[in-house]
Every structure is written in structure tokens, then in C-alpha cells.
Amino acid sequence: MKSYILTRIGLSIPMILIILTIVFFVLRVLPGNPVLAMLGPKAPPSVVKAMEHQMGLDKPILVQYVDYLKNIAKGDFGHSTVTGMPVLKELMQKFPATLELTIFSMVVAVFIGIFYGTIAAYKLGSPIDISARIYSIFVYSFPVFWFGLMLQLIFGVWLHWLPVSGESSPFMTPDPIHTGIYILDAIINGQWDVLKDSLEHLILPSLTLGIVISSIFVRMVRANVVLTLSQQFVVAARARGVKEKTVLFKHALKNALPPILTIMGLQFALLLGGAVLTEVTFSWPGIGSYLVNRIHSRDFAAIQGTIVFFAIFVAIISILVDVINAWINPRVRY
Amino acid sequence: MELLNIRNLSIEYKTKSGTVKAVEDVTFEVGEHESLGVVGESGCGKSTLGVAILRLLPPNATTKGEIIFNGKNLLSLTNEEMRRMRGKEIAMIFQDPMTSLNPIMRVRDHFFELFKVHEPSMKKEQMIKLASEALESVGTDPKRLDNYPFEFSGGMRQRVMIAIAIALKPKLLIADEPTTALDVVVQEQIMQVLKNLMKTKNMSLILITHDMGIVSELAEKVTVMYAGNLVEHGEIKEIYNEPKHPYTKMLLESIPNIKLDDMELKYIPGSPPDLKNPPKGCKYYPRCPYTKEICKTKEPKTVKLGDRKVKCHLYSGG
Ligand SMILES: Nc1ncnc2c1ncn2[C@@H]1O[C@H](COP(=O)(O)OP(=O)(O)OP(=O)(O)O)[C@@H](O)[C@H]1O
Ligand SMILES: [Mg+2]
């Protein structure tokens, strides 16, 4: 198992390198001069030249590329051209909010996906199965911002049950901040009113995102559990007197998990890179909102940094997924 | 007393393209410690019959008749009562050992699951002891309890399946083509395992197969099925020496026989009928060399000739 994990990590290094390379060259090829974006179009050429020199943009492109890789290896993602702050530091500030939203949305999506999908597969062809199929097609077609807006309208504007934007109400942030994840910090501090406020702010965005994503999960889970339920070992388990619930979850679902976990893991990584539409709809101060802001202001360092950050996450999560799959499936492990 | 009485059992599958009459009005019994072979060509309803005894048919199947096991009609038990019978009183092994074990569970956990379901208070040492004994009785090293299914060959997996099936000493074992997916040498080993078990354990066996040769090795009685019907039933020796139903005769002539290697091996011409639209009258008449007019219009009754049952107009006085 250990050697498996090590090989798997080794294999992902070239993958990350390829992504870094693509990000670097694509951003250089794109129209728009970052220096001009920073200084404004009317900046005198001498100032532009000096700035380019300072940023190392006048060096040959391969030298720039090597510098870029070296810096990333050191954990230096460059400085924002808008704020002058290190990009990694800015990202780490935004990351807890995104992580919070991601985890809660994934909990919603995984819960709906696993249960609805498994039960639909078990009751193949029944009304509950048909409803699951309709659900997954219908919800999948929801535009996130429209669905978010609907929830805001119903639960925020009409019913006044829940706040419609932001991560917390004014003066309702945890103090002191430990992790940046408000819920966690509020619990650590024992600030229960803050915890309640944070949870209330979290419900609508994570429901929006979770429900939309659950449509894919329901479909994936259903299809894979239908397959495993038809296998001989399921009949054999029943012939041993195993209870239906065990047959369904321990035999059928667990064997169906590897492809499901792969999709779920990738979805998780995708969200960690910022659920742009949801974050913008709910003014959620995470990486998605950050990225949109910086795209508007042509902050190349920030954009590049966000993409690299995201790529590294995808790599880490896919390693994790593979390790979990190997742990479930002995064939891979041995 | 008989252990198992199957009375007027009929099973139909509802499908989009029509109703399949997979088993029709089948009656037979299996005594204690008796082994019964069920033979017939592919698609004649053998597996359906076997699986029906455990009440594990898919939801599109409807079952009529009675399956009386140990004095109780299995068809009138609740689902929960029936579940408790499976694996404890009646066990089953299947044709394809490669897919019958859960690929992500150790062999040990297959045993433990069985024990926990039926004897929740059993201690772990006891579970290991029972599992080891079961493996030994099928000629497998108990050390292999810790292995995963993919670490076994097909023949080894079938031994493991048998070991799991007999671990709680069921009264009846249903073996659905236990050797069909295996090569000849391994087939012979598995047959040997089953023979030993029949000698040492107090168990009845229903051995489902399409191979008359295999039945003759093990079974005391045999039920010959054709297109969902029981066409002949009786002591294996009698049927071997003097098959009555024309279909049984054909089946026996189609056994490869090394001693008679100069003789041409016969095969049964034609193919079994479509069970959605079976022929009127006797189902076998289109392939039967003795067909009379009555065979095409009237279904033969099952008649008793001594210990033997035959469903054929040649014997029904018609
Ligand atoms: N789930 C099902 N739905 C519809 N028809 C079925 C179903 N299962 C089996 N049948 C049909 O019922 C008939 C009997 O099938 P069964 O599997 O019992 O035959 P068998 O004698 O075991 O054949 P084999 O030797 O190929 O295993 C066949 O015509 C088959 O097509
Ligand atoms: Mg069969």
C-alpha cells in the first residue's frame, strides 16, 4: 500500500508539471499586456520598459519559464499586480470560505446522490426510480445562478428565514480567527451566536450548489449500483441469508464505489478552485469571487496563481481518490 | 418423511414480449440424505426451479404451487422467515465461481457474514474454527481464509463457495451447474468434493446440470426436464438401464462414452421450443421420433410406472 501511494505521488509530478507549463504559455500567448493593464494604456514607454524589467518580462521566455517553476517550487506564486500582495497569501485568505462552502455542498450532494441513487437502483423501474431519473435530468439543467436566485427569493426575500448573501452578518465574525473557517472558529471559541449566524449564511449557497451537483451523483450512483446489483455475488449473498440492507449497501454499493468516488473527488477539487457562479450569486468571499475580480482587473499573477493552486488541488485529490479506491479494492492494492 | 416436496410448481416470467412459462406443473420430492439430479438442455427451467426454492427469483417471476420443506410451505413464509432459511437450512452454489464471491471481501468475511446473520452470538474463535473446518472438508487450506477471491483459481473458488454453503450444515444444498464453468480435470475434483460431502454430512443435494454423465456420478434419483416440464423422474439406475421418455433416451445417447469411441456420438436434432409460444400438445413432439397425431394436440398426463414418473403419450395409454 505504501509503495502504491508513493508511486501514485511520483506519477502526479509530471502531470502537475505539464499543467504548470500549459498555464504559463497560455497566459503569455493571450492578448493583453499585464504591464499596460497595471499602468493604464497611457503610460509612457520608458515607465513601461522599466516595469517590464522589474517584473523580469524582458528576459527570454525560457528563462522566465524556469524562474516561474523555481518560484512555484519555493511556494512563491508571484505578487498581485493590483494589490502588490503575495498571491499565495491572498489565496490562503480566501481559501477557508471556499473550503467551507465546498465541504457543505459536497455533503448535501453526496448524501442525496448516494441515497437517492442507490434506492433508485434498488427499485429499478418503480416510481421512485423514475422520479430519480427526472430529478437528475431536470436539476442538471438548472443554471446555478438562476437556482440560487430562486432560493434567495423564496427563503430570503419572501419568508425572511435566511440571509441571502455573504459569509456572516456584520460584527458576527469569530474572534479570534484560528482557521479562517467561520464555523470551526466559532466552535473553537464557543461563540454560539456566531456559529448560528455562519450556518444560516451557509445554508442557501451550499444547498444551491449541492443540489445542482447532486444531479450528476444520483445518475452516477444509480447506473453503477444497477450494474453491481445484477452480479452473481449479490444473488449469492442473498442465498446466504444476508439482509437486504446489507446486500444493498455493503455488497452492491461498495463494489460500485470506485467510479463514483472518482467523479466525486474531481467534483470536490473543482469546487475548491472556486465555485465561481455560486460565490458570485451569494457574494461569498471565496476563491471564485477572487478570481472573477482579478480577471476584471487583468491581474495576471493572481489569475496564474489561482489556476496553479487549483491544479495542485486536483492532483492531490485525485491521489486521495486513488488511494481510497485502492483501499476498497484489494486488486489495485496488491 | 421427505425433506422437500415440490407440488404442482409453475413459474412464469412476465416480459415485454410475452409470458415465459419457465416451469410448468412440476411435482417431485427429495428425501433426507438423498441426492437428486435435475437435467435438461439449456433454457429448460432448471435454474429457475433451483432459485425458486430459495425464493430468490427476480420480481417479474410469479410462482404457483407448493414448495414444502421440512413440513413448511416455503411459499407462505414471510420474507424475514424465508431469509433465515437461506444459508442455514437451504444453501445454494452457482454456476460461475468467478463471480459468486464478493471481489472486495476476504474469504473469511464471507464466512463471518454468514455466521453473524444466523448466529449473532457466535464468538470469533468459534467462527474461525467453523470456517476452517468447512474449508478443510472441501480440501482447501484454512490459511487461505485471509485471501481475497482474486487470489484463487476457478476451481478453488468453487471449493470455497461449497465450503461457505455447507458451513452451517444446511439440510439441503442446491448446486446449480457447479462444474460447468470449470475445465474437465477440475470438474472431476469438484465432483469428488461433493461426493465426499454426501458421504460424511447429513445433507440432501439437488444437483442441477445439463450433463447426464455428471448426474450418474453422484445422484440417486434424477428428474429430466424439457421446456419447463418434468418429463421423467425416477431412480438413476432404472432410468439409465431403461429410459422411457424419448427425450431421456436421446439425452443418454448423447453422453460421450470412451468405451464406445468407435460409435458416432448422437446429438439431439432441432432445438427446444420458444417458451413464450410453446407448441400445443406435447412440447417435445417437433423433435420426437415417435410422434403420433395425439402428441400434436393433447398434452400428455404424467403417469406412474412403479417408482417412475413419465410424461409421454407412449405410456399414458393414449
Ligand atoms: N429474469 C427472467 N426474465 C424473463 N425470462 C427469464 C428470466 N430468467 C430466465 N428466463 C427464461 O426462463 C427460461 C428458463 O431459464 P433458466 O435459466 O431457468 O434455464 P436453465 O435450464 O437454467 O438454462 P441454462 O442451462 O442455460 O442455465 C428460459 O427460457 C429463460 O430465457
Ligand atoms: Mg441455469
Distance CA A179, CA A185 (A): 6
Which grid coordinates are listed for A168?
456572516
Q: Write out pLDDT tens, residues B74-96.
A: 999 999 999 999 999 999 999 88
* CATH no. of A87-333: 1.10.3720.10
Is the confidence at residue A37, as pLDDT, over 80? no
pLDDT of residue A14: 87
Question: For chain A, what are the domain ranges?
Answer: 2-73, 87-333
Q: How far is CA B147 from CA A186, A297, B110, B184, in A?
A: 48, 60, 11, 25
| Phi, psi angles (nearest 5°) of residue A311 | -60, -40
pLDDT of residue B265: 54
Q: Give me the residue from B56, B92, B104 closest to A329, CB to CB.
A: B104
Q: Look at the pTM and tell me if it is higher than 0.80.
A: yes
Contacts of A134 (CB under 8 A, 6+ apart): none
For residue B6, give the amino acid letter. Answer: I
pLDDT of residue A54: 77
For residue B251, give the nearest of B280, B277, B231 by alpha carbon: B231
Looking only at the bridges linking them, the beta strands covering B172-176 and B302-305 are: unpaired
**Strands, sheet with B308-311, edge to edge from the N-terminal-most edge strand:** B90-93, B172-176, B204-209, B35-39, B221-226, B229-235, B308-311, B302-305
Q: Write out pLDDT tens, residues A62-118.
A: 888 898 889 888 888 888 888 888 999 999 988 988 999 999 999 999 999 999 999
Average pLDDT score over chain A: 87
Burial of B32 from C-beta contacts in 10 A (0-12 / 13-18 / 19+): middle
Distance CA B49, CA B1 (A): 22
- pLDDT band for B228, please (50, 70, 90 cuts): very high
- pLDDT band for A283, please (50, 70, 90 cuts): confident
| Phi, psi angles (nearest 5°) of residue B144 | -80, 0
As a whole-number percent, the residues of chain A with pLDDT over 70 amount to 97
Position of cell 423433435? B287
Q: What is the mean pLDDT of residues B115-142?
A: 93
Distance CA A329, CA B169 (A): 31
- pLDDT band for B196, please (50, 70, 90 cuts): confident
Is the confidence at residue B30, as pLDDT, over 80? yes
Is the confidence at residue B29, as pLDDT, over 70? yes
pLDDT of residue A5: 83
pLDDT of residue B113: 96
Measured in angstroms, the CA of B70 and the nearest CA of chain A are apart by 18
Contacts of B209 (CB under 8 A, 6+ apart): B37, B38, B39, B46, B177, B179, B180, B215
Burial of B116 from C-beta contacts in 10 A (0-12 / 13-18 / 19+): middle
* Distance (Å) from CA B22 to ligand 1 centroid: 7
pLDDT of residue B267: 65
For residue B204, give the nearest of B92, B284, B46 by alpha carbon: B92
- The crossing angle, in degrees rounded to 10, of helices B184-200 and B124-137 is 120
Name which residue sits closest to atom 5 of ligand 1, judged by CA.
B13
Distance CA B283, CA B224 (A): 14
pLDDT of residue B269: 72
Average pLDDT score over chain B: 89
Residue in chain A closest to B101 (alpha carbons) equals: A233
Contact between B14 and B60 under an 8 Å Cβ cutoff? The reply is yes
Q: Which residues of B144-166 are buried (b: 16+ CB within 10 A; e: fewer)?
A: bbebbbeebeebbbbbbbbbbbb
Distance CA B29, CA B71 (A): 12
Mean pLDDT is highest, among A301-305, B121-125, B293-297, for B121-125
Residues B43, B47, B49, B52, CA torsion sign: negative
Is the confidence at residue B208, as pLDDT, over 60? yes
For residue B134, give the nearest of B103, B170, B101, B104 by alpha carbon: B170
Atom of ligand 1 nearest to the CA of B210: 25
Q: Give me the residue from B87, B100, B104 closest to A241, CB to CB.
A: B87
Interface probe for B, chosen from A240, A244, A253, A328 (most Cβ of B below 10 Å), is A240
pLDDT of residue A334: 63
pLDDT of residue B230: 94
pLDDT of residue B257: 58
As a whole-number percent, the residues of chain A with pLDDT over 90 amount to 29
Is the confidence at residue B264, as pLDDT, over 70? no
Name which residue sits closest to atom 16 of ligand 1, judged by CA.
B45
For residue A304, give the nearest of A18, A48, A14, A20 by alpha carbon: A20
The more confident residue out of A174 and A138 is: A138
Q: Assign residue B66 a region: left if phi > 0, alpha if psi is -120 to 50, beta otherwise?
A: beta
Is the Cβ pair A255, B86 closer than 8 Å?
no
Q: Does B77 touch chain A (CB under 8 A)?
A: no
Residues A63, A69, A75, A81, CA torsion sign: positive
Residue B300 DSSP one-character state: P
pLDDT of residue A217: 95
The more confident residue out of B268 and B104 is: B104
Measured in angstroms, the CA of B149 and the nearest CA of chain A are apart by 10
pLDDT of residue A186: 84
Interface probe for B, chosen from A233, A250, A253, A331 (most Cβ of B below 10 Å), is A233
Position of cell 454468514? B114
Which grid coordinates are listed for A68?
516561474
Distance CA B119, CA B114 (A): 8
Is the confidence at residue A277, as pLDDT, over 90? no
Atom of ligand 1 nearest to the CA of B57: 1
Looking only at the bridges linking them, the beta strands covering B204-209 and B221-226 are: unpaired
Q: Write out pLDDT tens, residues A133-155.
A: 999 999 988 888 888 889 888 99
The more confident residue out of B80 and B314 is: B80
Distance CA A218, CA A180 (A): 32
| Phi, psi angles (nearest 5°) of residue A24 | -60, -55
Is the Cβ pair B84, A239 closer than 8 Å?
no
Is the confidence at residue A333, as pLDDT, over 80? no
Which grid coordinates are listed for B83?
431469509
Contact between B101 and A236 under an 8 Å Cβ cutoff? The reply is yes
Q: What is the mean pLDDT of residues A223-243?
A: 95
Task: Centre a 10 Å sphere on the Cβ of residue A213 and count the other Cβ atoms it contains.
Answer: 26
Residues bordering ligand 2, an ion, CB closer than 5 Å: B 47
pLDDT of residue A31: 66
Is the confidence at residue B194, as pLDDT, over 80? yes
Q: What is the mean pLDDT of residues B37-61?
A: 93
End-to-end C-alpha distance for chain B, whole angstroms = 34
Measured in angstroms, the CA of B225 and the nearest CA of chain A are apart by 24
Measured in angstroms, the CA of A210 and the nearest CA of chain B are apart by 30
For residue B38, give the nearest of B255, B271, B259, B229 by alpha carbon: B229
pLDDT of residue A231: 92
User: Cα B251 vs. chain centroid, distance in angstroms?
Assistant: 17
The more confident residue out of B8 and A147 is: B8
Burial of B54 from C-beta contacts in 10 A (0-12 / 13-18 / 19+): buried
Of B46, B209, B231, the one to substitute when testing ligand 1's pocket (max ligand atoms within 8 A of C-beta) is B46
Contact between B3 and B204 under an 8 Å Cβ cutoff? The reply is yes
Q: What is the mean pLDDT of residues B188-198?
A: 87
3-class state of residue A77 by DSSP: coil
Q: Write out pLDDT tens, residues A18-29.
A: 888 888 888 777
pLDDT of residue B103: 93
pLDDT of residue A78: 83
The more confident residue out of B183 and B52 is: B52
Cβ < 6 A, ligand 1 pocket: B 13, 15, 20, 22, 40, 42-48, 58, 60, 210, 275
Is the Cβ pair A330, B99 closer than 8 Å?
no
Position of cell 422411457? B244
The more confident residue out of A244 and A196 is: A244
Distance CA A322, CA B262 (A): 60
Domains of chain B: residue spans and CATH:
2-89+170-311 (3.40.50.300), 98-169 (no CATH)
Q: Which residues of B touch A255 (CB under 8 A)?
A: 102-104
3-class state of residue A156 by DSSP: helix
Q: Does B53 touch chain A (CB under 8 A)?
A: no
Could you write out the DSSP letters of every residue in A269-315? HHHHT--HHHHHHTT--SHHHHHHHHHHTT-HHHHHHHHHHHHHHHH
